[in-house]
Amino acid sequence: MLATNQIVYPDSDGQPMADNTKQFRWIMLIHANLDWLFRDEELVFVAGDLLWYPVEGNPKYRVAPDVMIAFGRPKGDRGSYKQWQEDNIAPQVVFEILSQGNTEGEMDRKLQIYARCGVEEY
């Protein structure tokens, strides 16, 4: 049972990973190739469609890049990427694979979050 003051950071946003098969293929291809490229680097974390919480205490401030890379973070399974639990290291690279379902406003919001939180390449 959760304490009444404990903040919950969901591991799912209820949104599908992709809107169509082409978008899904690109997400999987980029993720698989980056995973292969950094397979021998223990401190490179590659993830796809993983909720990233940049700020502790604000579970509504979150984003789920289609693919992200965090250099300096160990490989391993996570339910979400809580930046404050990751030595405060933001993903340095994120990929967004656009589909017809993505709006300009949605992409602008994500870009602003990425820029504000330290993503170097988008």
* Mean pLDDT, residues 83-90 taken together: 97
pLDDT tens figures, 43-85? 999 999 999 999 999 999 999 999 999 999 999 999 999 999 9
Q: Which domain holds residue 59?
A: 21-117
pLDDT at position 12 is 85
Domain total for the chain? 1
Report if residue 8 sits inside a domain. Answer: no
Report field, pTM of the whole predicted structure over 0.85: yes
H/E stretch holding 46 reads strand 44-48
Residue 3 lies in a domain: no
93 has a pLDDT exceeding 80: yes
Residue type, 117: C
Instruction: Quote the pLDDT of residue 5.
Output: 73
Report strand pairing: 67-71 vs 93-95. Answer: antiparallel
Rounded to whole angstroms, the Cα distance separating 53 from 55 reads 6
